[in-house]
A and B are shown apart, each in its own frame.
Chain A
Amino acid sequence: MRRLLLLFLIISFSFAQDDNKAITILQGINANYSAIQDFTTEIKVDINLPGFRMPNKDVKYFYKAPDKSKIESKGFAFVPKDGILPFAELVKRDSLKNLTITEIIGDTVVITLVDTFQNQEAIMTLKVHEPSATIIQGSASINNQNILTFHIHYISIHGIYLPDESAIDLLLPPDFKKIQMLGTSPSQAKKFKEKIKDNKEWVDGKIHLKFSNYIVNQGLSDEIFEEAVETVD
């Protein structure tokens, strides 16, 4: 009985330690984000989504703590939020569900937790480089499907780690294939519909971001963000 109690205590303690370490790591990431009051950067965006063709775009990104961001570009453009400051909102939170360290490989710690993503419960996996307190890889998985995965390389600017390059893999629902029917003739559309009718495979998309010309903590004015960002529904 004593042995069992001891074993229970050891297991509970080790889990608690695990939780504490995960929290400490997330706090480290948050500390890195908190050092950013504002920044601007230029991003070269390369979007590769089936049925959606857009030339590579040069975009200027503006961020001001705690949550103001906008992009400017000549013409139409879009960037994935998580490719820039990944899980910035999530690491700020005091309590997170099922926070666990699942793997430690040298300097890299893999943390999983459960959170809401696209209005559904999702398992978030964060691969964190502990010395720099940066998320080098992250994913959101719903029903065992990785909906979003990103890999980020960082550079240090005045001791703050900011992305140098982001690669985002998206998995889009089967319905997304219908976008490829736009602009086809009725007979082509009919054939295409037949073709995809039984195909329930999700669609892969890739987005690559290359960052340059960072200007950090320059004191960005709020006015920059006041102008309504033109969004497309």
Chain B
Amino acid sequence: MMVGLFKNEVKKLYSHWRSFMGYILFLVLIPIIMWAYGKGADGIPSAFPENYSDLFLFTGKLNNGLTAAYFVLNFFWVHIPFLIALVGGDIFAGEEAQGTYRIYLTRAVPRWKIFVSKVLASFFYTFTIVVLFIIMTLGLGLIWHGSGDMVVFHEGMLILPQSEALYRFFLAYIFAFSNMLLVNIIALFFSTMVKNSIGPMVGTMAVIIFFLALTSLPLDVFDSIRPYLFTHYFDNWKIMFYDPIPWGKVVQSMLVISGHSIILLFAAFYIFNRKDIVS
């Protein structure tokens, strides 16, 4: 039964054109960025004083698919949440707005199963968005700009060999996926509370923007509260490219992100389970 419910939810999810916005955006925008990257990115951005570069013989290039993928990831991590919120925010509230809850919830299917199927469907969407993102950044980047060593900016310049860089990307994408799941869960949580899908979408974005502002504003007064904000860990996928990887920080980030996710997921279930359907 669960599989049937899940399939049904996925079908409903993709019946809205907005669900395809994320895919379309990636399919159009990332190739443009990749093209522009090939036209204008610098390899070693004047790291060596000009006079000194004459002293050396260089080989290989740092402008390659791996560096391009890192560059795009750096740019997009703050935007993907909005695409996720567009879909997650609709998954419960959309039913209520259309009045289909009354029919759906009066069938002999336990509410928890409906909840789980909806959550899994939205997780599936998040997963496909991240997979497409990987294909469009790393895959397209490697095809378009070739492979090689990767340059990472962390307290200077760090050159990662290709094999090491691919492993780091794998870890970074897992981390990014867990962050996106949290965004999805926030949208789901809001979605269980209201009767139209605009509210959860805007609400999720507002929460993210608010927390991101507190996280990124270079004001010392917010230093003490930052560790408690989930957005503080949003760009922690970058630490997967540090040398050495600060595993302590990775574990702390994962605990905060998964802690938020679990609490909000249970809260969403609690609200959904007790919901009085009057529409």
The yes or no answer to B43 lying at the interface (CB within 8 A) is yes
Q: Is the CB of A78 within 8 A of B156?
A: no
Q: Is the CB of B56 within 8 A of A80?
A: yes
- Mark the stretch among B29-37, B46-54, B86-94 that contacts chain A: B46-54
Bound-state CA distance A74–B163 (Å) is: 11
- Mark the stretch among A4-12, A29-37, A157-165, A182-190 that contacts chain B: A182-190
Name the B residues within 8 Å of A79 (CB-CB): 56-57
Q: Is the CB of B49 within 8 A of A173?
A: yes
Bound-state CA distance A70–B161 (Å) is: 21
Q: Tell me which residues from 160 to 216 in chain B have a Cβ below 8 Å from any Cβ of chain A.
A: 160-162, 164
Name the B residues within 8 Å of A187 (CB-CB): 218, 220
Residue of A nearest to B53 (CB): A233
Q: Is the CB of B156 within 8 A of A69?
A: no
Chain A nearest CB from B39 CB (Å) reads 15
Q: Is the CB of B153 within 8 A of A182?
A: yes
Chain B nearest CB from A84 CB (Å) reads 9
- Mark the stretch among A47-55, A128-136, A211-219 that contacts chain B: A47-55
Q: Is the CB of B62 within 8 A of A232?
A: yes
Q: Is the CB of A185 within 8 A of B218?
A: yes
If A51-B155, A185-B218 touch, does A172 touch B59 (CB 8 Å cutoff)? no
The yes or no answer to A118 lying at the interface (CB within 8 A) is yes
The total of Cβ contacts below 8 Å across the A-B interface reads: 116
**Residue in A78, A173, A183, A190 whose CB lies within 8 Å of B57:** A78
The yes or no answer to B97 lying at the interface (CB within 8 A) is no
Name the B residues within 8 Å of A184 (CB-CB): 155
Greatest chain A CB density within 10 A among B45, B46, B51, B52 is at B52
The yes or no answer to B278 lying at the interface (CB within 8 A) is no
The yes or no answer to A229 lying at the interface (CB within 8 A) is yes
Bound-state CA distance A82–B59 (Å) is: 16
Bound-state CA distance A76–B56 (Å) is: 13
A 172-209 binary contact with B (CB < 8 Å = 1; else 0): 11011001111111110010000000000000000000
The yes or no answer to A119 lying at the interface (CB within 8 A) is yes
Greatest chain B CB density within 10 A among A69, A175, A176, A230 is at A230
A 68-111 binary contact with B (CB < 8 Å = 1; else 0): 01111111111111100000000000000000000000000000
Residue of A nearest to B242 (CB): A183
The yes or no answer to A156 lying at the interface (CB within 8 A) is no
Residue of B nearest to A189 (CB): B218
Bound-state CA distance A186–B59 (Å) is: 32
The yes or no answer to B21 lying at the interface (CB within 8 A) is no
If A75-B161, A81-B57, A148-B55 touch, does A182 touch B62 (CB 8 Å cutoff)? no
The yes or no answer to A123 lying at the interface (CB within 8 A) is no
Chain B nearest CB from A207 CB (Å) reads 9
The yes or no answer to A144 lying at the interface (CB within 8 A) is no
Greatest chain B CB density within 10 A among A50, A71, A76, A230 is at A76
Residue of B nearest to A187 (CB): B218
Name the B residues within 8 Å of A69 (CB-CB): 57
Name the A residues within 8 Å of B16 (CB-CB): none
The yes or no answer to A25 lying at the interface (CB within 8 A) is no
Q: Is the CB of B157 within 8 A of A52?
A: yes
Q: Is the CB of A186 within 8 A of B58?
A: no
Residue of B nearest to A79 (CB): B57
Name the B residues within 8 Å of A71 (CB-CB): 57-59
The yes or no answer to B65 lying at the interface (CB within 8 A) is no
Name the B residues within 8 Å of A78 (CB-CB): 56-59
Residue of B nearest to A61 (CB): B57
18 A/B residue pairs, CB under 8 Å, sorted by A: A51-B157, A52-B47, A54-B159, A74-B161, A75-B60, A75-B162, A76-B58, A78-B58, A118-B54, A179-B156, A179-B157, A182-B45, A183-B152, A183-B153, A183-B156, A229-B57, A230-B61, A232-B62
Interface residues of A (CB under 8 A from B): 50-55, 59, 61, 69-82, 118-119, 148, 170, 172-173, 175-176, 179-187, 190, 229-233
Given A71-B59, A75-B148, 14 extra CB contacts under 8 A? A51-B156, A52-B157, A53-B158, A53-B243, A71-B58, A74-B161, A75-B149, A75-B159, A77-B59, A77-B60, A78-B56, A172-B49, A187-B220, A232-B44
